[in-house]
């Protein structure tokens, strides 16, 4: 059985923790592990391989976190742009034997009852062997308006329902035969493709062309043009709501999609007053608050039922119960062309990380860490010059036609327009301070001439 792991989400409802370049599935929220890592660990004892679907930026995050787990038997499919779950799953299924059982799981869900989960997967596998499309239904314990619902008659699915209002959700819970739609599926790769061809032929045909045109070395890469030609749709709309082969299995697995800070707050330990346990929190005459912050002290006085999320470049304060509306903040920020929805002050790259220490008009200061054996692209800039000062490690620096070693407390200067590269040939991290000076210091002022990671 192959575990198809969908990594495409950007997690806007968990902003400012989650950003486009560090979405919630890769943030280490639980015991220094990410939801992606927990997904891999949960499924690699059940499945023979992981087939990870992500975009190019997230590929390197996933690769690093797989290395931390010493995880093996991983395949990657890279999408240049997301077209929702139906095309993503189809592209993966085209790459598999038609009789291969696939377990489709999101990378950003939390499942705490893993023993029950394994039992449920085995039941789903049996149904999938009989050519069924199996979905996992979570018992609706309360009227949640943030989830879709599955109406069932035993194992047969009567209908899928969109996210309801509060009154409708309560009726679903009272009825007793409605489940939350978990977004976890199990089926044969060939059966899914047959049903997709029957009910959404446009998606099937365009996905097949995209797969056949793809670069398929160790990584399956879909071209931007082919990806854009695939109609955008979810697996629910494209197949599950139309097929007569769909079965639902009750999954009492202590599941959450962590789709809001209200949901996330339930998963963190609390003190006697219901406030989240946090070494950086002092709460006086305050109760039932969720506070997430690792940098600064957060002090509350006479405050109840709030969500406080503190990051180095953004502070979020919300009433509990309103955190679903955080996506509207992200929309507003995008309208202002802000980088805040996109990236943290510390950005992860395939070669290491950089942290913006200061960003003012006509200059920017960064701390750059390059991992052993890695190097940045051979590049140049049109609008800025750069000064590099090595703090630790030994950097191999190419500027123009000259390559030399820069040691701690030594520096170099790169003039605007000069071709250059930074490399770590040593055994420890290279740490340096970069001062950029120019009329424009944006990240898009990079012309890559040569790149180990095939970035444009």
Which residue(s) pair with 411 in the sheet?
389
Q: Grade residue 453 by pLDDT with cuts at 50, 70 and 90.
A: confident
List CB contacts of 168: < 8 A, sequence separation 6 or more. none
Helix 35-44, helix 56-69: angle, nearest 10:
60
- Of 162-171, 295-304, 386-395, 425-434, minimum mean pLDDT range: 162-171
Averaged pLDDT for residues 31-49: 94
* Residue pair 388/411 in contact by the 8 Å Cβ criterion: yes
Q: Is the pLDDT of residue 413 over 90?
A: yes
Domain annotation for the chain: domains and CATH numbers: 2-256 (3.90.550.10), 261-325 (no CATH), 346-450 (2.60.120.10)
Q: Is the pLDDT of residue 15 over 80?
A: yes
pLDDT in tens, 298-340: 999 999 999 999 999 999 999 999 988 999 999 999 999 999 9
Q: Which of 131, 137, 117 is nearest to 47 (CA)?
A: 117
Averaged pLDDT for residues 68-91: 93
Q: Grade residue 456 by pLDDT with cuts at 50, 70 and 90.
A: low
pLDDT, the chain, mean:
94
- Of 78-82, 89-93, 308-312, minimum mean pLDDT range: 78-82
* Residue pair 23/108 in contact by the 8 Å Cβ criterion: yes
* Residue pair 98/189 in contact by the 8 Å Cβ criterion: yes
Of the chain, the percentage scoring pLDDT greater than 70 comes to 100
- Tell me whether the omega of the peptide bond preceding residue 71 falls within 30 degrees of 0, making it cis: no
Quick one: pLDDT at residue 4?
Answer: 98
Averaged pLDDT for residues 157-162: 90
What is the number of other CB atoms lying within 10 angstroms of the CB of residue 272?
Answer: 6
Phi, psi angle pair for 155, to nearest 5°: -90, -10
Quick one: pLDDT at residue 56?
Answer: 79
Quick one: pLDDT at residue 8?
Answer: 78
Phi, psi angle pair for 104, to nearest 5°: -95, 125
Q: CA 27, 299, 306: angle at the middle one, nearest 5?
A: 65
Which ranges of 111-229 does DSSP label H, i.e. alpha helix? Answer: 114-129, 166-175, 189-199, 201-213, 224-228
Q: Is the pLDDT of residue 295 over 90?
A: no
Cα gap 379→400, rounded to integer Å: 10
Q: How many CA atoms lie within 13 A of 208 on its CB side?
A: 11
* Residue pair 307/278 in contact by the 8 Å Cβ criterion: no
Cα gap 22→19, rounded to integer Å: 5
pLDDT in tens, 184-233: 999 999 999 999 999 999 999 999 999 999 977 778 999 999 999 999 99
What is the number of other CB atoms lying within 10 angstroms of the CB of residue 119?
Answer: 14
List CB contacts of 368: < 8 A, sequence separation 6 or more. 352, 353, 354, 422, 430, 431, 432, 433, 434
pLDDT in tens, 330-373: 999 999 999 999 999 999 899 999 999 999 999 999 999 999 99
* Residue pair 150/261 in contact by the 8 Å Cβ criterion: no
* Residue pair 137/180 in contact by the 8 Å Cβ criterion: yes
User: What is the model's pTM?
Assistant: 0.89
Cα gap 124→113, rounded to integer Å: 17
Largest Cα–Cα distance of the chain, in whole Å? Answer: 74
Quick one: pLDDT at residue 455?
Answer: 77
Residue pointed to by tokens 């069924």:
132
Quick one: pLDDT at residue 445?
Answer: 92
Residue pointed to by tokens 């390559």:
403
At residue 27, the 3 state secondary structure works out as coil
């Amino acid at each position: 059985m192959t575990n198809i792991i969908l990594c495409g989400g950007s997690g806007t409802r968990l902003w400012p923790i989650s950003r486009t370049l560090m979405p919630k599935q890769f943030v280490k929220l639980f015991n220094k592990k990410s939801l992606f890592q927990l997904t891999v660990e949960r499924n690699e004892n059940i499945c023979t391989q992981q087939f990870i679907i992500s975009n190019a930026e997230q590929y390197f995050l996933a690769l690093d976190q797989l290395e931390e787990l010493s995880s093996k038997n991983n395949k990657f499919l890279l999408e240049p742009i997301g077209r929702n779950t139906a095309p993503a799953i189809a592209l993966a299924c085209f790459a598999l034997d038609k009789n291969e059982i696939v377990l489709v799981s999101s990378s950003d869900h939390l499942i705490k009852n893993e023993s029950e989960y394994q039992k449920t997967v085995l039941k789903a596998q049996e149904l999938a062997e009989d050519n069924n499309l199996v979905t996992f239904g979570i018992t609706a314990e309360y009227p949640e308006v943030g989830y879709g619902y599955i109406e069932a008659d035993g194992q047969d699915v009567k209908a899928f329902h969109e996210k309801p209002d509060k009154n409708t959700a309560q009726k679903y819970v009272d009825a007793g035969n409605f489940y939350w739609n978990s977004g976890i599926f199990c089926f044969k790769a060939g059966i899914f493709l047959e049903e997709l061809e029957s009910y959404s032929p446009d998606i099937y045909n365009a996905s097949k062309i995209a797969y056949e045109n793809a670069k398929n070395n160790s990584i399956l890469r879909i071209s931007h043009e082919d990806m854009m030609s695939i109609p955008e749709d979810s697996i629910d709309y494209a197949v599950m709501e139309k097929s007569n082969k769909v079965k639902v299995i009750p999954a009492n697995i202590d599941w959450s999609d962590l789709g809001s800070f209200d949901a996330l707050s339930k998963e963190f330990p609390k003190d006697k007053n219901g406030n989240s346990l946090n070494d950086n929190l002092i709460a006086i005459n305050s109760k039932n608050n969720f506070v997430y912050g690792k940098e600064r002290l957060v002090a509350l006085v006479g405050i109840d039922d709030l969500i406080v999320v503190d990051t180095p470049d953004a502070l979020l304060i919300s009433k509990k119960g309103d955190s679903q509306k955080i996506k509207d903040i992200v929309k507003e920020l995008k309208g202002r062309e802000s980088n805040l929805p996109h990236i943290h002050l510390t950005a992860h790259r395939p070669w290491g990380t950089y942290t913006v220490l200061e960003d003012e008009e006509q200059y920017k200061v960064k701390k750059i860490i390059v991992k052993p054996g890695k190097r940045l692209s051979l590049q140049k800039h049109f609008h800025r010059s750069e000064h590099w000062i090595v703090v630790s490690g030994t950097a191999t620096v190419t500027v123009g036609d000259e390559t030399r070693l820069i040691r701690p407390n030594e520096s170099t200067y790169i003039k605007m327009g000069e071709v250059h590269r930074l490399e770590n040939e040593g055994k420890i991290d290279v740490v340096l301070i970069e001062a950029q000076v120019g009329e424009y210091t944006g990240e898009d002022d990079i012309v890559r001439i040569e790149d180990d990671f095939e970035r444009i």
